[in-house]
Chain A
Amino acid sequence: QSVLTQPPSVSGAPGQRVTISCTGSSSNIGAGYDVHWYRQLPGRAPQLLIYTYSIRPSGVPDRISASKSGPSASLAIAGLQAEDEADYYCQSYDANLRGWIFGGGTTLTVL
């Protein structure tokens, strides 16, 4: 079981907006450690999507955004497209485990 909790799946119709939550605790996100997000297409390597809570690397469209509130973070994808179908993972650091941690992943389905 992952230290960071994500919903197993979310879905939305093309053009809609979906959000993916990432819930941590006082030893990771709640302690102020940064949250980063990755996208993984089936059979492919993870790709960095968002770093340091809400910064997009070059090439990531601005319809993808992220935020943090307390011990949780969330990723939002607006204007859903078929190409957004993928698994999404949040990542942070845990002071108790003294290591980097990932969420369990969320599968996004575009209906």
Chain B
Amino acid sequence: EVQLVESGGGLVQPGGSLRLSCAASGFTFSAYALIWARQAPGKGLEWLSGISGIGDSAYYGGSVKGRFTISRDNSKDTLYLHMNSLRAEDTAVYFCARGIAAALVSTDWFDLWGQGTLVTVSS
């Protein structure tokens, strides 16, 4: 089955760190760029970060640049999001999603999404 499954969410204190994972199956992992997006409670979607298929290019949105790091391990078919200096406003469901090719370009859309993992930042 073609799918993405996120994990690693949970409760973390402000200023803390967390690593999210996104395990892929059913497709050639390295052939696709991937992104992370999030959805705060009752809010809309926000793109956070993207990475190319071979991991040589990474992109970040302004709200997470310098705090979050995207990476991937193509030998394990897994995408990661390393999150540092977490704030209350980072509380959200975090989704990974697949681009349409190995390179991430401006015209891309995202055709496969995981179910999300909840991150709660609170003391």
Q: What 0/1 readout, one digit per residue, does chain B (17-51) give for beta carbons within 8 Å of chain A?
A: 00000000000000000010100000011110010
Partner of A52, one of B46, B109, B113: B109
Q: Which residues of B contact A89 (CB under 8 A)?
A: 44-45
A38 to B44, CA, bound (A): 12
Q: Which of B35, B62, B95, B111 contacts A48 (CB 8 A)?
A: B111
Q: Given A51-B109, A52-B107: A100 and B50 within 8 A (CB)?
A: yes
In angstroms, Cα B45 to Cα A109, docked, is 19
Instruction: Report the nearest A residue to B115, measured CB to CB.
Output: A45
Q: Is the CB of B44 within 8 A of A34?
A: no
Which residues of A lie under 8 Å from residue B89 when comparing CB positions? none
Q: Point out the residues of chain A lying under 8 angstroms from B107, CB to CB.
A: 33-34, 52, 93
A104 to B47, CA, bound (A): 12
Task: Give CA–CA (A57, B109) in the complex, Å.
Answer: 12
Known: A98-B59, A99-B59, A104-B44. A47 touches B109 (CB 8 A): no
Residues of the A chain whose Cβ atoms lie less than 8 Å from the Cβ of B44: 2, 89, 102-105
Report chain B residues within 8 Å CB of A15.
none
Q: Does A44 lie at the interface of the complex (its beta carbon under 8 Å from any beta carbon of B)? A: yes
Q: For the complex formed, measure the closest distance between the CB of B17 and the CB atoms of chain A, giving whole angstroms.
A: 23
Nearest-Cβ distance from residue B47 to partner chain A, whole angstroms:
4
Tell me the residues in window 61-86 of chain B with beta carbons closer than 8 Å to chain A beta carbons: 61-62
A49 to chain B: closest residue by CB = B109
A107 CB to nearest chain B CB (Å): 11
Interface, chain A (partner B; CB < 8 A): 2, 33-34, 36, 38, 40, 44-48, 51-52, 57, 89, 91, 93, 95, 97-105
Q: Which 5 A-B pairs have the closest CB atoms?
A: A36-B109, A93-B106, A45-B113, A105-B44, A102-B45
Complex A-B: 19 CB contacts under 8 Å: A2-B44, A38-B45, A45-B95, A46-B45, A46-B97, A46-B110, A46-B113, A48-B109, A57-B111, A89-B45, A91-B109, A91-B110, A93-B106, A95-B106, A97-B61, A99-B60, A99-B61, A100-B106, A102-B46
